[in-house]
Homo-oligomer: A and B are copies of this chain.
Amino acid sequence: MLFFTQCFGAVLDLIHLRFQHYKAKRVFSAAGQLVCVVNPTHSLKYAPTRCAAAQASTEQGILPPCHHHEAVHDPQLVPCTCPLFSCPWEGHLEVVVSHLRQTHRISILQGAEIVFLATDMHLPAPTDWIIMHSCLGHQFLLVLRKQEKYEGHPQFFATMMLIGTPTQANNFTYRLELNRNQRRLKWEATPRSILECVDSVISDGDCLVLNTSLAQLFSDNGSLAIGIAITTSKVHSSEAEI
Q: For the complex, is A97 an interface residue (Cβ under 8 Å from B)? A: no
> A84 vs B188: C-alpha distance in the bound complex, in angstroms?
33
Known contacts A26-B242, A30-B238, A30-B239: does B184 contact A189 (CB below 8 Å)?
A: yes
> A237 vs B184: C-alpha distance in the bound complex, in angstroms?
11
Min CB–CB distance A191 → chain B (angstroms): 11
Interface hits, A172-224 → B, CB 8 Å = 173, 179-180, 182-190, 204-206, 209, 211-214, 217
Within the oligomer, what is the number of copies of this chain? 2
- In which size bucket is the chain A interface? 35 or more
The answer to whether A209 touches B214, judged by C-beta atoms less than 8 angstroms apart, is: yes
Q: Closest B residue to A233 by CB, please name it.
A: B182
Min CB–CB distance A104 → chain B (angstroms): 28
Q: For the complex, is A31 an interface residue (Cβ under 8 Å from B)? A: yes
Q: Which residues of B contact A30 (CB under 8 A)?
A: 237-240
The answer to whether B236 touches A184, judged by C-beta atoms less than 8 angstroms apart, is: yes
Q: For the complex, is A73 an interface residue (Cβ under 8 Å from B)? A: no
Chain A's interface: helix, strand, loop or mixed, by majority? mixed
Q: For the complex, is A150 an interface residue (Cβ under 8 Å from B)? A: yes
Known contacts A153-B150, A182-B189, A209-B209: does B238 contact A227 (CB below 8 Å)?
A: yes
Q: Which residues of B contact A27 (CB under 8 A)?
A: 239-241
Q: For the complex, is A231 an interface residue (Cβ under 8 Å from B)? A: no
Q: For the complex, is A85 an interface residue (Cβ under 8 Å from B)? A: no
Min CB–CB distance A226 → chain B (angstroms): 12
Q: Closest B residue to A29 by CB, please name it.
A: B240
> A27 vs B242: C-alpha distance in the bound complex, in angstroms?
8
> A30 vs B236: C-alpha distance in the bound complex, in angstroms?
10
The answer to whether A179 touches B213, judged by C-beta atoms less than 8 angstroms apart, is: no
**What are 23 sample pairs from A and B whose C-beta atoms fall under 8 A apart?**
A26-B240, A26-B242, A27-B239, A27-B240, A30-B239, A30-B240, A150-B153, A179-B239, A182-B189, A182-B190, A182-B239, A183-B189, A184-B188, A184-B189, A185-B186, A185-B188, A186-B186, A205-B212, A205-B213, A206-B213, A206-B214, A209-B214, A227-B238
Sample of 5 further A-B pairs with CB below 8 A, known A28-B238, A31-B238: A27-B240, A183-B189, A185-B186, A205-B214, A209-B209
